Amino acid sequence: MAQLDELKGPDAHALPDTATLPAELAALYLCMSPAELADLRKSKRPERASSNPSVIRPVEGSAANPKDPLLYNVGTLRDFAKAHPAPSAFDTALNTGMQAWVSAKLPFFAEREPRIKRGKRVLIGGAWDRADPLREQRFVDLAKGRIRFASLTCAEAASSLWADVASHAAFAEKGLALLRSETQAIETALAATAQLAAADPQD
């Protein structure tokens, strides 16, 4: 099977179906947590595991020997993703309001080394974003150690440095829209309180 550190030529910026990813990156590729991926390795009826689209098996590694890394075939991961196109928990967290914006952790691609003092991270984009045309290339870079990923809340990410202004602005606008909505709701409530007080003054 093709290993990611062997990719060259036209395939250097795309993941071939024959490549393998370790469990941590396989989970990230599928936009789920490692624990969720571990659950997908299980089947209540082993005889049906091969035909069950909700079960995904590693191609290498053994549960009997914890030292053996679990590796997943990229083609299998792609097939699973196509069969399960529903929004991920990361998508939901990004779009469910201010509480999720400030509390839910999402995975972001980030530059390997900080550009400025004090270890300030520089983000590249959302690792869950399946619509990102550079996502496959970034997984290659991630597997080769050229970049890393960081788990941050959306609020933390919006307040971080980004590699390019357009990506940062597009992401930050979601947070700014939430803040505007929250501000408007508070101002509306204050105005309603003032109207209530004016209509029913206390002695």
66-100 in b/e burial notation, b at 16+ Cβ within 10 A?
A: eeeebbbbbbbbeebeeeeeeebebbebbeeeeeb
pLDDT of residue 199: 85
Domain boundaries, the chain: 4-86, 91-195
CA–CA distance from 168 to each of 24, 126, 160, 180, 183 (Å)?
A: 26, 10, 9, 18, 22
pLDDT of residue 173: 93
Task: Tell me the average pLDDT across 157-169.
Answer: 93
pLDDT in tens, 97-129: 888 889 888 999 999 877 765 567 899 999 988
Residues 180, 185: Cα–Cα separation, whole Å: 9
Among 28, 26, 32, 35, CA closest to 61: 26
- Main-chain phi, psi angles of 144, to 5 degrees: -85, 0
pLDDT in tens, 23-69: 889 999 998 888 888 888 775 544 444 444 456 777 755 455 556 67
Please name the residue that has the structure tokens 């509480």.
99
The sign of the CA dihedral 70, 73, 79, 81 is: positive
- How confident is residue 11, by pLDDT bands cut at 50, 70 and 90? very low
Residues 24, 161: Cα–Cα separation, whole Å: 25
pLDDT in tens, 129-161: 888 888 889 998 988 889 998 999 999 999 999
The pTM score is 0.74
Strand pairing class (122-126; 161-162): parallel
DSSP 88: P
Return the CA Rg of the chain. Answer: 22
Strand pairing class (105-111; 20-22): unpaired
